[in-house]
Structure 1
């Protein structure tokens, strides 16, 4: 007796999918170079036969994806609910059908968040349609943000540039913020986007850069500025003062930043660090591993 197997099922039975990686915008190519065992690519979503691993170029990692055959929209929603409660849709094809499935699931807010915000402790799963009758779904993902992309309520009047959104994201992931009465150092601070966030949190901030802060930041209480080379700012200058946070959004070679940050870490003067790493040309991920 012959048995009918959907063509989509035949396709996905030919290989295992043990992890999936959603590339950050514009970073699909470096993500592909970083991964092994790639079996398929669906727009920005890269499927792999290898177990999930840390990735620098993925904004969300699907750690335990499962292929699920479905008969209908209701069947898809039922099977997803049996696996997990909270789901986020990554839609790359069959958008209407995918949205109808999402609408059958418990609602998950996609509204911009007001900073500061505490992330939900409930895991946010991700799913997508591979074809009309095949779901790929992972109850466990690396990011608490829908599709790994945070959305914040933007302040279009206060901060001098949009760099403040990067610090919103970093502090939200860290689960803590500078507190009133704390002292922070912000290097590479011009024109003052990060200093603005720190100041809004109620902490005092010393901003270091070769270029000045914006006029709006220069007059803020609790914000001081020094025009100087950030890498000549050393822990020895603060032997009699506790530094609660050191922030760096400076443009420099990662190796130089690492050596400078390491000196601060080893000094024991500062307990919290948030740094961005900026690559020029072909990235050397071995230096990122050191951080």
Structure 2
């Protein structure tokens, strides 16, 4: 379905604010040229492909001339119930269309909770009379952005939100009695989040943890370098976590060492970029069997790497498809 114009949009990717150029570079490496931007939505005449730098990938975009506000809503309802608006322009008209769609529950998430599985589409107005929409997209959240009930008193930093978002997308998190490592843990935002779940966590860092985190039940602290820790010298663990500041290539070597050791069943790491984006290392992370990369809402110039032994054995991505 098209609007009859010469421009037929077949690919759409929602970029994170300030990282639009990084998304465009990544898509170019995947053979996709961006024809134009609609706000933070990258549009192309080429089909959508996955990019870890996209907050949301519109997997099957369609373009249509809308006869009216109610007519636009009727078109969307003809596909499915749930739709999320991306508004970059024509805000009043878009809001009126949205009012004619079934409401979507947008309550803040209380962690731990799994990402929703109900089908969710995305739509936007390119002009007052031209709508772009996709019934399928990569994120289970509107505009790829989960919103949580935050804890503003317990954790020593807001980094815990990255771990919450990662586990929500993964639809799994450490359980009571499971063992975890937090590499490069200080000040302890991720350690705090893991301990809150009732799992046992050993925090590794050269610098001490925040005293309140160090005193929590289920928390042990081992002073030392995350990169100097040999997996073979440590008991097998259920999870390895890390939000450490490190060059991506160095973190890649650490991830490979732990995976090859067979000493962990799951891994969640933040890959942090300083200056230019190291696209070669991104590709190397993507090539790891059982691994997945995502740019989370709470990431900065970062990607989150997921890996699980189960996914590697099944030759499947660690983050399940929506």
Q: TM-score normalised to the size of structure 1? A: 0.93
Matched with 2:22 is: 30
Give structure 1 stretches of 5+ with no counterpart. 1-7
Counterpart in 2 of 1:97? 93
Are 2:186 and 1:194 aligned? no
Residue 20 (structure 1) aligned with residue 16 (structure 2): no
SS of structure 2 residue aligned to 1:255: helix
Q: Which has the larger radius of gyration?
A: 1
Q: Report the Cα distance in structure 2 between the residues aligned to 1:145 and 1:9, rounded to whole angstroms.
A: 27
Structure 2: how far apart are the matches of 1:94 and 1:52? 25
1:183/1:204 contact within 8 Å kept: yes
Q: 1:146 aligns with which of 142, 163, 174?
A: 142
Equivalent residue of 1:159, what SS? coil
Unaligned runs of 5+ in 2: 286-322
What RMSD over aligned residues (CA atoms) do the two structures have, in Å?
A: 1.4
Give deviations 1:15-38, integer Å, cap 9, x for gaps. 221110111121112122223232
Alpha-carbon spacing, 1:33–1:242, altered in 2? closer, same or farther (3 Å) = closer
Match of 1:253 among 247, 250, 266: 247
| Shift, 1:194, TM fit | 0.4
Partner residue of 2:260 out of 239, 255, 266: 266
Aligned residues: 280
Give runs of aligned pairs for residues 170-189 of structure 1, distance below 5 A: 170-189=166-185
Aligned counterparts, 1:132-171, within 5 A: 132-171=128-167
Q: How does 1:74-93 map to 2 (within 5 A)?
A: 74-93=70-89
1:179 & 1:234 partners in 2: Cα distance? Answer: 25
Q: Which stretch of structure 1 is more off in the superposition, 166-175 or 217-226?
A: 217-226
Aligned equivalents of 1:254 and 1:177: distance in 2? 24
Trace 1:59-138 onto structure 2 (pairs within 5 A).
59-138=55-134
**Inter-partner Cα distance in structure 2 for 1:194 and 1:61:** 28
Q: Give yes or no for contact 2:184–2:225 (8 Å, CA) kept in 1.
A: no
Distance 2:103 2:115 in 1: 16
Q: Secondary structure at the match of 1:167?
A: helix
RCO (CA 8 Å, sep 6+): is it higher in 1 or 2? 2
Q: Secondary structure at the match of 1:221?
A: coil
State the Cα distance separating 1:242 from its structure 2 match. 2.5
Deviates more, 1:193-202 or 1:53-62: 53-62
In 1: Cα distance, 2:176 partner to 2:39 partner? 45
**Equivalent residue for 2:289?**
none
1:107 shift after superposition: 1.2
Q: C-alpha distance in 2, partners of 1:32/1:237?
A: 42
